[in-house]
Amino acid sequence: MRKWFTALFLAGAFIGAVGEVYGASYKVVDVIAGPDGGWDMASIDATARRLYVARSDGVMTINLDTRIVTPRVVAGERVHAVVPIPGSDRVLSTNGNSNTATLFQAASGSVIAEISTGQKPDAAVFEPSTGLVFVMNAKGGDVTLVDPHQAKAVGEIPIGGALEFAVADGAGYVFVNIEDQGAIAVLDAASRQVTARYPLKDCEAPSGLAIDIEDKVLVSACANGIAKLVSASDGAEIATLQIGKRPDAVIWDVARKLFFIPSGGDGLLTVIARRSPAEFAVVDQVATRLGARTGALDPATGRIYLPTATLNPTATGRPTPVPGTFVVLVVGGE
């Protein structure tokens, strides 16, 4: 999803290691090998104990308890996002090269439907109040609404711009990072309209996005090495924090009140802690590996799963994975 960027890294100015405050010192505790190829977003079905990783040719899964890898449970064309549908055995994946979303059965990978979307579907999020999946069309600048039970598209929402990660607040609103505008669009799921736009001052090319629903705080990862924290209610800025290079996801651990931001440019996982509803701070930088820029959290264990591989630069500027090096790093606290 992201381009290669450089950014200045500064450690958090707040207390030292996260372990001194929260009783856990994070580090890479396991490495799970997988098949060759590119990758994008990761997600976890905590009930099924299954990790999904979007791959160039489909969707890979890992059983979180046995570590068994299924290289391709379902085929795809440059898959960007994988969304398990709560309360069902269905999963939706987005295919950036074919302008479609694949709806499939979780365990078997049997395809239920191929659903047309807008141009270059990328991130996607399940919105619980409507039961719909919101698919962000990065090139088209609009959102395709998919009913996973009817297995079809049921509408669209125009936004404009290059759409990136999105999060739902569980109360009928969806927030979308707009990469080329440095802003967050606020969508009302019921009316299917954009109700607000929150500017992210000094944030270049926002990609990853997560929300602390209880405190109504949004965290956006910016390409220029900062994270912007803003109010989900009105977009008011709460904080600007330094993170690593080339971030491409933000992960929220509601149980431990921590945000994690993986940065592939320098192989660091930034840990941001909630000290109060209005105070957040960087409390640790965890060494991972270059290229580890997306990931997902297992809420049962608190472990973070980060796909990566050794990367070779190319003449076009887009690096390619070295054969035989793709792995999923497992980061845990001790």
pLDDT for the residue numbered 17: 40
The confidence score (pLDDT) of residue 323 equals 95
Q: What does the pLDDT average to over 199-215? A: 97
Residue 50 has pLDDT above 70, yes or no: yes
Mean pLDDT of 97-108: 97
pLDDT above 90: residue 169: yes
What value does the mean pLDDT take over residues 138-148? 97
pLDDT of 251 over the 50 cut: yes
Residue with tokens 């994270």: 227
Mean pLDDT of 92-99: 98
pLDDT in the model for residue 18: 43
For residue 38, is pLDDT > 80? Answer: yes
pTM for the model stands at 0.92
Q: Helix count (H) and strand count (E) of the chain?
A: 1, 30
Task: Give the span between the Cα atoms of 259 and 229, in whole angstroms.
Answer: 11
Over range 93-106, report the average pLDDT: 98
Q: Report which of residues 68 and 13 the model is more confident about.
A: 68
Name the percent of the chain lying above pLDDT 70: 92
Tokens in use for 285?
A: 């930088």
The C-alpha atoms of residue 74 and residue 102 are separated, in whole angstroms, by 9
Q: Which contacts (CB < 8 Å, 24+ apart) does range 46-50 have?
A: 46/298, 46/299, 46/300, 48/84, 48/106, 48/107, 49/300, 50/84, 50/106
Q: Between 10 and 204, name the one with better pLDDT.
A: 204
Query: Biggest alpha carbon distance in the chain?
Result: 51
Give tens-digit pLDDT for 263-294: 999 999 999 999 988 899 999 999 999 999 99
What's the rounded mean pLDDT across residues 313-331? 87
Tell me how many degrees the CA angle 236-240-241 measures, rounded to the nearest 5. 150
Could you tell me the CATH superfamily of domain 40-199?
YVTN repeat-like/Quinoprotein amine dehydrogenase (2.130.10.10)
